Structure 1
Amino acid sequence: MLATLPAAFLKKASLLLLLPLLLSCEDSLDKLYPKAQPVQLPAETKTGANVLGCRLNGDVWEANNTATLTGKVLTPTAHHRNGLLRIDAFRRLQVTGPVTNIHFTVAGATKPGVYQLGAAERKSGGFAMLETASGQLEYATSAHQTGTLTITRLDTTGAHPVVAGRFELRAAPTQPTVPTADLPAHVQLTEGRFDIQLNR
């Protein structure tokens, strides 16, 4: 009986039968490779959400916080030992602009409070360093380009240690350079916030 049906009809019927299978494959691929969420400022939380973001010269900059297959988040990271706090973050692939990495180092960070960001040589307070792609250029806070890092939660002894807070700063190149659209004369970070599980 099938032999008497037109070939065009059989072709359409077989495609209709395959359609549910193809759609289920697409759903499976979406679960395996979910679509990237838009770049946005993370919410201001204090739960160890492993987020860091800000506005960099007005544009949203968000750290990559994708977990590995073992569940470990590679960035952002926060280390705290003997009052020395170091925060490192690497941007998401979807973020545009010159800065790829942001690093904070704060000495004497023993409790919530406002910590000044300035020159790296100071023995108290802290500083920030920002790197561009392939290490082309570094921007840093200094005695003239300053900022603040405000810690709103610092739990170093609990079952799930966390550091959370806000930051804002202005940084300039650490070496002489001719400003371009890709490498501006300075960078300004505003509306910065972070919420990171501490590594001790």
Structure 2
Amino acid sequence: MAYSSNNHNDDEKNRRLYNPYQDLNIPIQNLYKLPTSPEFLFQEESVAQRRSWGENLTYYTGIGYLSGAVVGAGKGFIDGVKASEPGDTMKLRVNRVLNGSGHAGRKFGNRAGVIGLLYAGMESGMVAIRDTDDVINSVVAGLGTGAFYRAASGIRSAAVAGVIGGVVVGLGVTGKQALKRYVPI
């Protein structure tokens, strides 16, 4: 298929000029030509304020790993400080703290990352199965994540973890909705 110059001119007409430095008073002309067409192909896609399943998976896994690593590093720091003995040199104390922080940070981060991965997969699966995006999907995904994460420890442990997961997600969703409603941002 040959490329015609008319299509190129039509494409140029449907673009708007954009200068990201306009507020800084830098004498540069418009740098980018952005399209004026809508970002979404269908109107239904623009109405839904939701991440895709891949973005969801990446987001929850990353947030889980990062928060777990920070909490674990803090716990490892405290354990490393408590483990120091009166005759230790400063070098040895720092080494204990760094080793404790690194070890506990990796351990907690990996666990929380796996929980985030399981939750994202279950929530995306629930949205796909039910074809709606509501609180029920999140709570059931939290319940399933807790139960699946602790399934190897036995039925009782899985049931308790499932209930804890469902309650934590339910409180989180309720808190998020209350924050949106009562805190003007």
TM-score by structure 2 length?
Answer: 0.24
Normalising to structure 1: TM-score of the pair?
A: 0.23
Highest relative contact order (Cα 8 Å, sep 6+), 1 or 2? 1
Larger strand proportion of the pair: 1
